[in-house]
Structure 1
């Protein structure tokens, strides 16, 4: 039988359960089953990046982006508030939104 390795206590690291985090009332749960299904549906229906298509480029979308951010009052679970974007376009849009 193998020896059990003792765990090392690190008092400077806050102990928490896996996937546990502090949440505020206005946080959107990107790990919720409802969101994951909606995201998959969006990327299945619109597999190309919307911003790249406007520039006559063909790029595979990897992010389902909220057109109006949830923190600014956008509906988090509405297909009308979603667009498919590639990571590069999503990162630049998110930077502009802030």
Structure 2
């Protein structure tokens, strides 16, 4: 029985790869989050800071799930500066990430 050839179609929703020779380079800050070093550092930081910093300021006790950069990575020079990290729950991190994204976009426009 003949074998069906593999489809060349990508899964729905997956981004198309950049064309070869386009000069596209993935942001370094984004790729750092995918490293073993970051996963380990983030886990160790959250072990030392088990509560969400933002919720704790409001008097709410919530477990931290994410290590967040206080100053966004595109603005901050040192990705690995643990003094710029804070432990957040997913809800607080998502709110902050949305605000950070707008701030970074606005700062790029004014440059």
TM-score relative to the length of structure 2: 0.68
Asked if 2 retains the 8 angstrom alpha-carbon contact of 1:68 and 1:74, the reply is: no
Structure ranking higher on relative contact order (CA contacts 8 Å, 6+ apart): 1
Deviation of residue 10 (structure 1)?
Answer: 2.6
Change (3 A) 1:86 1:40: same
What is the match of residue 49 of structure 2?
46
User: How do 1:4-43 and structure 2 match up within 5 A?
Assistant: 5-10=4-9, 14=16, 22-24=25-27, 27-43=30-46
Q: 1:85 aligns with which of 80, 88, 95?
A: 88
Deviation of residue 60 (structure 1)?
Answer: 0.7
Aligned length: 92
Q: Distance in 2 between matches of 1:41 and 1:61?
A: 12
SS of residue in 2 equivalent to 1:52: helix
Q: Distance in 2 between matches of 1:57 and 1:85?
A: 12
Aligned-pair Cα RMSD in Å:
2.8
Q: Distance in 2 between matches of 1:83 and 1:62?
A: 11
Change (3 A) 1:4 1:44: farther
SS of residue in 2 equivalent to 1:71: coil
What is the match of residue 73 of structure 2?
70
Segments of 5+ residues of structure 1 without an aligned counterpart are: none
Q: Distance in 2 between matches of 1:72 and 1:28?
A: 16
More helix by share: 2
Extract structure 1 runs of 4+ deviating beyond 4 A.
13-16, 25-28
